[in-house]
Structures are given as structure tokens and as C-alpha cells.
Amino acid sequence: MSAPRDPRLLVVALGGRALHGPAPRAGRGPGRRTGHEAWLRALEGSLPPVVDVAAAGFRVVLVHGGPPSVDDGRRGTSGRAAAPPLALDLRAAEVQATAGYGVQQALGNLGRTRGVDVPSAVVLTRVEVAADDAAFGRPTRAVGPPYSANAARRLGRERGWTFLGPASARRRLVPSPRPRRVLEAGVIRRLADAGVLTITAGGGGVPVIETGEGHRGVEAILEEEATAGLLATALAADRLVFLTGVDQVEVGHRTTRAIGVERLSLAEARALLKAREFPPGSIGPKIEAAVEFVEAGGREAIITSPAALRAALDGRAGTRVVR
């Protein structure tokens, strides 16, 4: 039997297109912004509907991607590492803090200009994965800067890294195991119940495994869509919302047969996933997480753009996955 649902509790996942905005213009001078400045401006353009929904009485838990151009920043002029790179669990914590700060700053500024009080908090979130997850033996997620073939061979020997790609631009591959438990779910729920807009699980969360001595970080990167769905189930949220760059999901996207989809049953969503109608690098993970959330007892999952958020909650926009 599924847990009772809170009709005012939403888990909202802010995707990369909604989070990052357009690429910044290069250079200096009037009208030109650095990557960091452009990113904050993009957040202030994407988040007003989230502030309005929170001000209207919804309790919002916001899961977000990472900030743009997350790179080591520790490389010397010769291209060799000037300092050892951070372990991926530490990098995930760094990404959460950086992106969470930006989101919190934007929310605070927007609340002030709109004359509403929307308290917020950033929760550094650990996500447990299974130590024997098969993904650890099949790294697939490309991360970091491109390396030459020689540099890739050297790093493979020195650090045991796996690489893929053309000889002139090889990328490191890391595992992407499935999340199975959000360790801070109880804290997040208490904050949400207190009316705090809670910013959490940035970049999918910090991946950890359980050991006899407690939890330990691992070299992996998590998919934020899967973490958002898992967290929404753990919190007994009524709805899971994915905010992305489109108002509505299309079947036959970018083809002459493209058509918008307003509603998908679980059976229809599974069939379209099997037919590869939803690309694995964009909409596909959102549909998969939506299916799992609704299967676990959620009322519905919605995919739409930030601008259409309130209309989607009222049933007037977006694509909804329902039982």
C-alpha cells in the first residue's frame, strides 16, 4: 500500500536547458557577461514561476543540475594536472554547493522584487547506490575535458581511468549507478513541511555506498532525473515535475511527423520508451523517472517548461504521465 500523498507537495527538477540559459557572449565590455554572470541571469529568468508557485502555497522541493562548465580548474599551462583532481564524490558536493548557492541567490532576489517571502535552504544530499551495481563495471558517462591519446594512456595507467573518443579528444568515462536511497530525505521533508523551499540533490546528489563502518563516497556520477523520482517517492510527494526547454513532449521530435503529447498512460510511456521515441540523453530519463514515480503511487508526473509551470499544474499545459 502506497504512503498517503500530500497534495501541496511538489518535487520540481530543474533541467540543464532551464538552468543554464543561452551560451554567454565572449569578451569584455558593456553588454558582455562572464559565464557565471550569464548563468545567474539565466536562473533569474527561469525561476520566477517556481517562486510564484511557492508563494501560492505549494511546498516545493527543487532538484537541479550542475552549473555550466564544471571543470577541474587545476590544470597547469602544460596541460598536465597542477594538482590531483578531486574525487567524484567531492566534486559532486562541490557542484551541489555552487549550483545550490546560485539557485538560492536567484530565488531570494526574485522573492524580494516580487514582494513575497519564500524562505529557502540548500541541503547537501547524499544518495546511496549499491556497491555491486553493474554500472561500476561498465562506465558510460563522459566527464571532464578532452585529452590527447598520449595523456589518456598515461592517466589510464596512473589512475585506472577509462577513456573513449577520437585520439585528439578522448573523454574520461565514469559509472552512473542507479540511486536507491536518499539519505537526507527525512530532513528534506521536515524543511518542506515547515514551508521552506528546499534546494537539494544538485547534479543527482553525492554518490555513496554503505559499508560496515558507515557510508563512503564512490567514483560515480548520478542522473538527476532518477534521483528526483526516487526523492519524490520517498517524500510521498503528490506530483513530480520536470522543467526543461520545451512546453510539451513530442513523439517524432524533429521530424515531419512530430506531434505534441498531452497525456501518457504508464503502458503508453513504456511502449514509446521501448520504441526509442524518447532520446536517452534528454527526454528519455525524464519519462523513465516519471513512470517509476507513478508506479510507486505518485498521482502524476509532468514535463514542461518553467514558463508553463502553473498552467501545467492546473492541467492546461505540459505532458503528464498518469496511471
pLDDT in tens, 210-245: 999 999 999 999 999 999 999 999 999 999 999 998
Model pLDDT, residue 79: 45
DSSP 8-state secondary structure symbol assigned to residue 211: E
Q: Is the pTM of this model over 0.75?
A: yes
Q: Which residues of 169-207 are buried (b: 16+ CB within 10 A; e: fewer)?
A: ebbbbbbbbebeebebbeebbebbeeebbbbbbbbbbbb
pLDDT of 85 above 50:
yes
Locate 63 and state its grid cell.
532538484
- Among 271, 276, 266, smallest CA distance to 296 is for 266
Those residues whose C-beta lies under 8 Å from the C-beta of residue 280, and which sit 6 or more positions away, are: none
Q: Are 220 and 126 in contact (CB under 8 A)?
A: no
Tens-digit pLDDT profile for residues 287-313: 999 999 999 999 999 999 999 999 999
| pLDDT 10s digits, 258-276 | 888 999 999 999 999 999 8
Cβ(67)–Cβ(130) below 8 Å: no
Burial class (CB within 10 angstroms; exposed 0-12, middle 13-18, buried 19+) of 225: buried
- The dihedral through the CA atoms of 33, 36, 42, 43 has a sign that is negative
CA 131 and chain centroid, separation: 22
Which of left, alpha, beta for 100 (phi over 0: left; psi -120 to 50: alpha)?
Answer: alpha
Closest by CA to 63, choosing from 257, 169, 203, is: 203
Residue 35, C-alpha cell as written in the block: 559565464
pLDDT tens, position by position, 5-59: 778 999 999 986 656 554 444 444 444 455 677 777 888 888 999 999 999 999 9
